[in-house]
C-alpha cells in the first residue's frame, strides 16, 4: 500500500497542536494535523477560560478550540480526524500509523498529544463519571453550588481545586491517603486548605467506593491505618490525583522522564530524535496552561521549519 508523504505531521489538537499548525501553514510547510482521541484536547472538558489573553470577557473552552481550529484551517492546515496508533522513527523519514490501518511518512513530526487525568479505577467512579464524578473541579464545581462535595488528592492541584470548590460548595471533604507529613502539596497550599473553614481533611484515608445509582449520593472511605470505614453523603466527587502524558506510543523511541513526559532539549521543542519535536502538556508537567501550550506549539513549528531549511527540504 502506498503511504502518503508530508513535510510536517502534527499529532494532537489542543492549543499546542493548533498553534503549531497555524505557524507551519504560514511557513508553507503544508502541515497535516490529526486531531486524536479528544479533538480540542483537555480544553473541551473545561467550561469558562478567563486567563487566556485576548478574551476580555472569558471564553468557553470548547468554543476557544473551535476558534483555534478555524484559524489553522484558514491558514491552510489540513485538519483530519484520526488517531496515531504506532510510530517508526528509525530513519530520517518518520513513519506514523493512523487508526491502525494507514502509514504516513513525514519529514518532521510535532507531537502535541497532551495529557489525560488519572483516575482511581473504581467501577463506581467510571459508572458515575459525568453524573457527579469529575476530574476537573474548575470545569464542573459551578454545578454544585451550596452542595456537599469531596475531592481526592494530596498535591498542589488538589489543594488549589479544594480551595476553588470551598468558594462554591457548602462543605469540601478532602480525602488524603497519607498523614500530614506525607502530603505532597507545597506548604503555602497546605496552609490555605487548613485555614479554610469549610474544608475538612480526612488523613490516612482512601476511597473505598463512590455511592449512588444514577448520580453521586456519597462516598465510602477507609482509614488505611485502622481499617475503619465511614460514609459521607455528597453530591459530587472530584478526582485530582494528577495527569498522565499521552506518550505511550513513543516510549520505545523518545526519551521520557519517570512520569512519562517527553524530554525536550532546554529552550527548544527538540526531542532526542532529529526532526521530531514535542509541544504542550505531553512535555510540560510544570505549567500545563493553554497559553504555555500555545507558546510551545509556536516553538515546535519554528524548530521544524529551521530543521527543514537545514536539510534543504522545500
DSSP assignment string, the chain: -PPEEEEEEEE--SHHHHHHHHHHHHTT---EEE--SSTTGGGGG--EE-SSTT-TT-EEHHHHHHHHHHHHHHTT-EEE---EEEEE-SSSSEEEEETTTEEEEEEEEEE---EEE-----HHHHHTBTTTEES-HHHHGGGGTTSEEEEE--SHHHHHHHHHHHTTSSEEEEE-SS-GGG--S-HHHHHHHHT-TTEEEETTEEEEEEE-SSS--EEEEEETTT--EEEEE-SEEEE-S-EEES-GGGTTTS-B-TTSPBP--TTS-B-SSTTEEE-GGGT-SS---HHHHHHHHHHHHHHHHHHHHHTT--
How confident is the model at residue 184, as a pLDDT? 84
How confident is the model at residue 32, as a pLDDT? 98
Query: 197 and 295 share a domain?
Result: no
Picking from 200, 219, 239, the residue at the C-terminal end of a domain is 239
Query: 152 and 217 share a domain?
Result: yes
The percent of residues above 70 in pLDDT, for the chain, comes to: 98
Picking from 211, 239, 267, the residue at the C-terminal end of a domain is 239
Query: 109 and 125 share a domain?
Result: no
Query: 154 and 109 share a domain?
Result: no
Query: 124 and 108 share a domain?
Result: no
Query: 111 and 250 share a domain?
Result: yes
Query: 167 and 69 share a domain?
Result: no
Query: 111 and 139 share a domain?
Result: no
Domain tally, the chain: 2
Picking from 181, 206, 239, the residue at the C-terminal end of a domain is 239
Per the structure, the complete domain to which residue 170 belongs is given by 119-239
| CA gyration radius, the chain | 21
How confident is the model at residue 163, as a pLDDT? 93
163-176 pLDDT tens trace: 999 999 999 999 99
How confident is the model at residue 214, as a pLDDT? 94
Query: 132 and 104 share a domain?
Result: no
Active site residues: 136, 139-140
Query: 132 and 234 share a domain?
Result: yes
How confident is the model at residue 83, as a pLDDT? 96
How confident is the model at residue 94, as a pLDDT? 97
Question: Which stretches of the chain score pLDDT less than 50?
Answer: none
**pTM score:** 0.80
Query: 149 and 194 share a domain?
Result: yes
CATH number of the domain that residue 272 is part of: 3.50.50.60
Amino acid at each position: 500500500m502506498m503511504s502518503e508523504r508530508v513535510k510536517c505531521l502534527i499529532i494532537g489538537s489542543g492549543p499546542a497542536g493548533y498553534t503549531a499548525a497555524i505557524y507551519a501553514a504560514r511557513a508553507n510547510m503544508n502541515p497535516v494535523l490529526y486531531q486524536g482521541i479528544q479533538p480540542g484536547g483537555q480544553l473541551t472538558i473545561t467550561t469558562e477560560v478567563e486567563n487566556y489573553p485576548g478574551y476580555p470577557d472569558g471564553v468557553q473552552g470548547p468554543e476557544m478550540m473551535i476558534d483555534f481550529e478555524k484559524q489553522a484551517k484558514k491558514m491552510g492546515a489540513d485538519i483530519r480526524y484520526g488517531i496515531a496508533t504506532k510510530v517508526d522513527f528509525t530513519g530520517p523519514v518518520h513513519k506514523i500509523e493512523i487508526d491502525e490501518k494507514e502509514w504516513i511518512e513525514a519529514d518532521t513530526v510535532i507531537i502535541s498529544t497532551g495529557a489525560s487525568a488519572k483516575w482511581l479505577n473504581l467501577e463506581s467512579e467510571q459508572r458515575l463519571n459525568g453524573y457527579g464524578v469529575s476530574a476537573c473541579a474548575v470545569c464542573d464545581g459551578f454545578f454544585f453550588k451550596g452542595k456537599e462535595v469531596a475531592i481526592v488528592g494530596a498535591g498542589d492541584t488538589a489543594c488549589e481545586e479544594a480551595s476553588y470548590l470551598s468558594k462554591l460548595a457548602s462543605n469540601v471533604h478532602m480525602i488524603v491517603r497519607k498523614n500530614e507529613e506525607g502530603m505532597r502539596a507545597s506548604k503555602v497550599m497546605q496552609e490555605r486548605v487548613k485555614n479554610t473553614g469549610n474544608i475538612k481533611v480526612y488523613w490516612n484515608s482512601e476511597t473505598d467506593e463512590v455511592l449512588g445509582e444514577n448520580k453521586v449520593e456519597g462516598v465510602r472511605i477507609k482509614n488505611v491505618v485502622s481499617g475503619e470505614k465511614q460514609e459521607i453523603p455528597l453530591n459530587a466527587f472530584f478526582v485530582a490525583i494528577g495527569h498522565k502524558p499521552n506518550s505511550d506510543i513513543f516510549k520505545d523511541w523518545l526519551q521520557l522522564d519517570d512520569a512519562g513526559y517527553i524530554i525536550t532539549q532546554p529552550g527548544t521543542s527538540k526531542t532526542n530524535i532529529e526532526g521530531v519535536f514535542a509541544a504542550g502538556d505531553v512535555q510540560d508537567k510544570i505549567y500545563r496552561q493553554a497559553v504555555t501550550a500555545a507558546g510551545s506549539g509556536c516553538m515546535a513549528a519554528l524548530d521544524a521549519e529551521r530543521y527543514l531549511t537545514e536539510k534543504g527540504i522545500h
